[in-house]
Amino acid sequence: MNKEEMVLNAFKKAGKPLRPGDVAKMTGLDSKEVSKIIKKLKDEGKLIVPKRCYYSLP
Q: What is the pLDDT of residues 3-42, one digit of tens each?
A: 999 999 999 999 999 999 999 999 999 999 999 999 999 9
Alpha helices in 1-58, H assignment, sequence order: 3-14, 20-27, 31-43
pTM given for the model? 0.93
Rounded to 5 degrees, φ, ψ at 47 are -130, 150
- CB 10, CB 33: distance < 8 Å: no
DSSP secondary structure letter of residue 45: T
Count up the domains in the chain and report the number: 1
In a domain? residue 58: no
Residue 12 DSSP one-character state: H
d(CA 23, CA 2): 15
Residue 11 lies in a domain: yes
Domain membership of residue 57 (yes or no) is: no
Does 27 map to a domain?
Answer: yes
- Residue range(s) defining the domain that contains residue 15: 3-49
In a domain, 41, yes or no: yes
